[in-house]
């Protein structure tokens, strides 16, 4: 996995939610949900014992904690069940951002807006760009870009919950 630093590297117990069909999972104490990330998930790749995982998500588990579900196919391959100890090494997946040229041009027209955008973390940028792309039609996209640029220019925190009501 090259020279990336793992976010999880150690032995953990497989746990299972009670009830029929309860998921088998691993909870990672000390690894918490990123508050600024809209969905609360975290994309990862790595290994569970000798089984390679890629493009998986750590899911929110409540109280800011994250978990990794371990499905039947993985458990069969590693020959482990709930209660067994597994070695897990995970790395954060950093997706290449698909940056909209129009958005960047608008930001660069306003130096303060571009400066504020550059201060965002990669997950914050990803959420913002996905929100702009999800707009309905070209007018919706333009409205969202304007809202973001103005928020940055006037140094206001853009809240997606408020912005979602903009009709775009």
CATH of the domain at 87: 2.40.30.100
* Model confidence pLDDT, tens digit, residues 92-126: 886 555 567 878 888 888 888 888 888 888 888 88
Res 37 pLDDT > 60: no
Residues 112 and 85 in one domain: no
pLDDT grade for 24, boundaries at 50, 70 and 90: very high
Structural domain for 147, as ranges: 101-166
- What does the alpha-carbon distance between residue 76 and residue 74 come to, in Å, rounded to a whole number? 5
Asked whether residue 131 is assigned to any structural domain, the reply reads yes
Confidence at residue 51, expressed as pLDDT on a 0 to 100 scale: 97
Q: Which of 92, 111, 138 is the last residue of a domain?
A: 92
Res 10 pLDDT > 90: yes
Asked whether residue 150 is assigned to any structural domain, the reply reads yes
Confidence at residue 157, expressed as pLDDT on a 0 to 100 scale: 66
Q: Into how many domains does the chain fold?
A: 2
Asked whether residue 1 is assigned to any structural domain, the reply reads no
Asked whether residue 65 is assigned to any structural domain, the reply reads yes
């Amino acid at each position: 996995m090259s020279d990336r630093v793992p976010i999880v590297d150690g032995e953990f117990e497989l746990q299972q939610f009670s009830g029929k069909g309860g998921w088998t999972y691993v909870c990672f104490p000390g690894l918490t949900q990123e508050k600024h990330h809209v969905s609360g998930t975290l994309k990862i790749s790595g290994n569970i014992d000798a089984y390679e995982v890629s493009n998986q998500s750590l899911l929110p588990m409540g109280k800011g904690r994250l978990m990794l579900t371990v499905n039947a196919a993985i458990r069969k391959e590693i020959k482990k069940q709930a209660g067994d100890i597994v070695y897990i090494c995970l790395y954060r997946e950093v997706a290449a951002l698909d940056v909209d040229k129009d958005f960047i041009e608008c930001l660069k027209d306003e130096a303060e807006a571009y400066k504020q955008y550059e201060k965002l973390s990669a997950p914050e940028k990803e959420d913002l760009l996905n929100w702009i792309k999800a707009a309905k039609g070209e007018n919706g996209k333009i409205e969202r870009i304007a809202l973001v640029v103005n928020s940055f220019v006037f140094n206001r925190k853009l809240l997606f919950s408020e912005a979602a009501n903009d009709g775009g």
